[in-house]
Structure 1
Amino acid sequence: MAVLGSVGDTFIASVAPLFMLSLGSTPFYIGLLTTTEHVQKIARIIGIRLVVHTGKARLMAGSRALAILPVLGLCHLAWQGTIGTTPVVVSLLLFAGREFIRQAGNTVWWAMIQDNTAGDAFGAFMARLRIRQRAASLVVPLIVGWYLGTSPSPGRFGWPFAAGILVSLLSVWWALGIKGGPLAEQEEGAFGQLRSAIRTPAVAWLSIFMATYQLIYSATGSMWVVALRNQGVGAMAFVWMGSIAALGQMISLTWWGRLVDAYGPRSTLSTTLLLKAGLGLTWLFLPTEFTILHVWSALFYLAWGILDSGQNMGRTQAMMDAVTEENQVAGFNAIMYAGSLGGIVGGVGGGWVFGLVSESTITWSGYPISLVYLAGIQAATFVVYLLSRKLAGYTDQTSTRDAVRSGMPPKAEGEPPA
């Protein structure tokens, strides 16, 4: 199910900014696209209400089936080939509509993960799952990028969207076979359950952590495509960067999983968040020469993939530690809503600000102000590291220094000593 979702997103969601740019989009609309990815999580309120009637697997499958409808509209828009503000807005609404419907099903995603994993081997399970996801994310973008070329017209996106529809149909069938645990009895409605969850200190701190990180990432990550395209990276190369990031995740996921299982999420989150903050400063050295630019981009995405896989592994374990089965569905979604709130602010604000600075000739110490913006905002990830120190169980978990001294990570079971 997770692999099919990754393949479908590669055909549809991952090329969304490029499709909108081919229609004549500005950075502001790209920022709005990122914002809608967070606004759509409002649909999880609907999911909380529906799951008591449908069960977890049927809710997931039904959402995937209905989400095909907006993609049909995207196919029509692509093959129609009209360029202008109206097609850009329509495409934005269709991408948002697809994700809104999918989010109703995603209400139960983490609950189903919790139902189907053994706590002691959670990191190993997530590593296997994500390695399979990233294997798909490694291969499919190469095909899509080759097909799209350097400067694709809107019509070139029609067939990838159609392929995404076929993958979505497969995911519907697969979702129906996933087992989900019984739902705990709830006396409160959807909003009451969310309020009860957010009052739990562990959930509250993790929600603040998620909101802050998503604000920073949404204000910068969605602008990478604009900055690199402005510098001379073609559409085909940009799609391939997704494969390079996936490669970074694949080669590191097992390592991160063993680290989380052995020491908890503390050392993993500390390491990845601090390095991400430092990685942001490399935007100040974005080259202009064609070959060096593409090498820089590849190394950046490789490093980002390695760090992002570790952060996601640590964050996921932190969620499992913070949420109890008594308020399972609402607990996970309260955290997701907090992240969405930060993402909305970051997406709208980041798109608006970057649209201004990318057109400006102002420099700071010789650096273009647009690159100073990307570097400065990403460096603020240091604040997220400080917040990670407030997460549940932090003081009881092994510090990064002690983990390094003990062997980071320890050898896998059955692995011979050095």
Structure 2
Amino acid sequence: MSWLRCTLRRSQQEAVASSTMTATSDNFFNAYAIFLGASLGQMGWVTGLPQLFGAMAQLLSVWLASHFSRRQFIVACAVLQAVVVLAMGALAAFRPENAVWIFIGLAVLYQGFINLIQPHWRAWMGMIVPQRRRGAFFASRTRLTMMASLSVFFVGGGILTLTDSVQMAWLGFSLLFSIAAMGRFASAWLLLQMHDPEPREAKVSGVFTQTLYNFRQAWKDKTFRHYSLFVAGMQCMVAISAPFFAVYMLEDLQFSYFEFVLSSVASIFTQFITLRFWGRFSDVYGNRLVMIITSCLIPSLPLLWLFSDNYLYILAIQAFAGFGWSGFTLSTANYLYDIRPFRSDFAIYAALQAGLSAGFVFVGAMVGGVIASYSEAFLIWTGLDAWLSSPIFVVFIVSTVMRSLVALWFIPRSVEPKTRPRPQLLTLIFRIRGFNAISGVGLDWLTVAKKKRDKDN
């Protein structure tokens, strides 16, 4: 069908356009907040608050699905998101009073629009991409996303380094966010050109009540409950330190923006190239073993930053982090699929786990901000400032200890689920939503493809 070929082609083009925005948001938001003069306490808000509102927006999106044309709703949200990104760039040029808090508010809107779009986008793509082509289609889309994102990442680092060298970093950020906004505007136009065979979902009464009931039923499953608390707890403890790696690199170590980008790429690139290794490893030994191995690696990551500020050493740490995070992200995604009860709705379990994690990330980021704000006074009071060269190291140590406690809690409670026949990695997960040097690749499920021998999965 000509409309199908055109829509799929537009979807691939849209992946490239939207990547110019996601590469900026995933990896430059913390650097931008530092440029605007964010305090250590405010860095926690930069990470935590947008995640919390994003989860709330995704729940709201379920209700909105039956009140608007799906394609027009997605396009409208994409356009508004582009306007928000453009406003972020304007902040750098005008530097109004309370610029940091304005940026946090814009980041909340940014995450809100992303999460309003996602459920509709999943349903749309799940409908139009032929099942037999899903693996190849989304693998190709992921490659395009990766290439476009890394290109923007490098270009952004170059622009910021160049403008910063002439004391005009504000211009670099304005240009960077303007490029991201133009990419999102192009993405919205391409989405408008795509065909939607079922533009409006049927109205269903009591959708919120039914959703809450389904969540409550899912939570009664002990294995799922332990898994959800483990994943959310680990992300919470990661969020304690996540905002402060950028602070340490840009302020304490005085990295140029391009050095900052290269250190992030070391992690991101390692994540991509090791995903397939972890996929094969989990097929042979099971996802539980991969989860245990990587949950033992992840707690050590913040602690490694204490031993040297050599740039090559930092690159090695980042590469090691990418190795650990790719296995953790993949195994936890596959484990969720395996532990859900037979014939149950995978979307319910994924949504509940994602919402819980967002709430925990908010708590972790707030705690990290408080610890960072008082860490310098703590070091002076205890005399540890002679041993720890940066107050941020206190945050790193706390994050390491708390990550370890979460892993120790979960390991004896983890079970090896009965593995179901399932599609290949990119057929199940479908696409890499984004990537972050500190907290890993973001995998986004679309739906679960069916096999003839497993019709009801």
TM-score for both structures, normalised by structure 1: 0.79
Map of 1:299-338 to 2, 5 A cutoff? 299-322=316-339, 327-338=345-356
The 10-residue stretch of structure 1 (196-205 or 244-253) with the greater mean CA deviation from structure 2? 196-205
1:265 aligns with 2:287: yes
Tell me the distance in 1 between the aligned counterparts of 2:30 and 2:44: 9
Q: What is the rounded CA distance, in whole Å, between the counterparts of 1:276 and 1:394 in structure 2?
A: 21
1:356 paired residue number: 374
The answer to whether the aligner puts 1:167 opposite 2:183 as a matched pair is yes
Query: 194, 219, 239: which one pairs with 2:240?
Result: 219
Between stretches 364-373 and 352-361, larger displacement belongs to 364-373
CA contact (8 A) 1:81 1:155 kept: no
Letter of the 1:37 partner, please give it: P
Aligned position for 1:30: 43
Query: 1:18 aligned to 2:24?
Result: no
Q: Does 1:91 align with 2:114?
A: no
Q: How many residues align?
A: 388
Instruction: Decide whether the 8 Å contact of 1:76 with 1:158 is kept in 2.
Output: yes
Q: Report the CA distance shift for 1:97/1:187 in structure 2 as closer, same or farther (over 3 A).
A: closer
Distance 1:305 1:12, change over 3 A: same
Q: Say what the alpha-carbon RMSD is for the aligned residues.
A: 3.5
Kept in 2: contact 1:210–1:338 (CA 8 A):
no
CA offsets, 1:167-191, max 9 Å, x none? 2123335556488999799664225
2:262 corresponds to: 240
| Matches of 1:266 and 1:111, distance apart in 2 | 30
Alignment partners' CA distance in 1, 2:121 and 2:335: 16
Q: What SS is found at the alignment partner of 2:241? A: helix
Aligned residue in 1 for 2:359: 341
Distance 1:345 1:164 in 2: 29
> Structure 1 residues 276, 183: closer, same or farther in 2, change over 3 A?
farther
* Preserved CA contact (<8 Å) 2:71 2:196: yes
- CA distance in 2: counterparts of 1:104 and 1:153, whole angstroms: 32
**Unaligned stretches of 5+ in structure 2?**
1-13, 421-457
**How far apart are 1:221 and its partner, in Å?**
1.1
Q: Distance in 2 between matches of 1:337 and 1:180?
A: 30
Does residue 208 in structure 1 map to residue 229 in structure 2?
Answer: yes
Give the aligned residue type for 1:97: L
Report the counterpart of residue 148 of structure 2 in structure 1: 136
Shift of 1:337: 1.0
Asked whether 1:194 is paired with 2:206, we answer no
**For the residues of structure 2 that align with 1:274 and 1:257, how far apart are their CA atoms?**
18
- Check whether the contact 1:209–1:387 (CA below 8 A) recurs between aligned residues: yes
TM score, norm. by length of structure 2? 0.73
Q: What is the Cα deviation at residue 346 of structure 1?
A: 0.5
- Report the Cα distance in structure 2 between the residues aligned to 1:342 and 1:355, rounded to whole angstroms: 20
**What is the alpha-carbon distance in structure 2 between the residues aligned to residue 264 and residue 135 of structure 1?**
31
**Structure 2 residue identity aligned to 1:380:** M
The range that moved more, 303-312 or 344-353, is: 303-312
Residue 173 of structure 2 is aligned to residue 157 of structure 1: yes
| 14-23 or 351-360, which deviates more | 351-360
List per-residue Cα deviations over 1:254-285 (Å, max 9, x = no partner): 21233344554223222222111223321221
Once residues 287 and 123 of structure 2 are traced to their aligned partners in structure 1, the CA distance between those partners, rounded to angstroms, is 19
Deviations 1:278-316 (Å, cap 9, x if unpaired)? 2332122132xxxx2x21221122222222222221222
* Counterpart in the other structure of 1:416: none
Q: Distance in 1 between matches of 2:327 and 2:212?
A: 28
Which 5+ residue runs of structure 1 have no aligned equivalent?
399-418
Match of residue 302 from structure 2: 280
1:347 CA drift (Å): 0.8
Cα distance, 1:259–1:59 mapped onto 2, change above 3 Å:
farther
Q: Is the 8 A contact 1:126 1:313 kept in 2?
A: no
Name whichever of 42-51 and 202-211 sits farther off: 202-211
Q: Shift in Å at residue 127 of structure 1?
A: 6.9
Q: Is the alpha carbon distance of 1:234 and 1:358 closer, same or farther for their aligned partners in structure 2, counting shifts above 3 Å?
A: farther
Deviates more, 1:191-200 or 1:181-190: 181-190
Report the CA distance between 1:141 and its aligned residue.
1.5
Tell which deviates more after alignment, 179-188 or 28-37.
Answer: 179-188
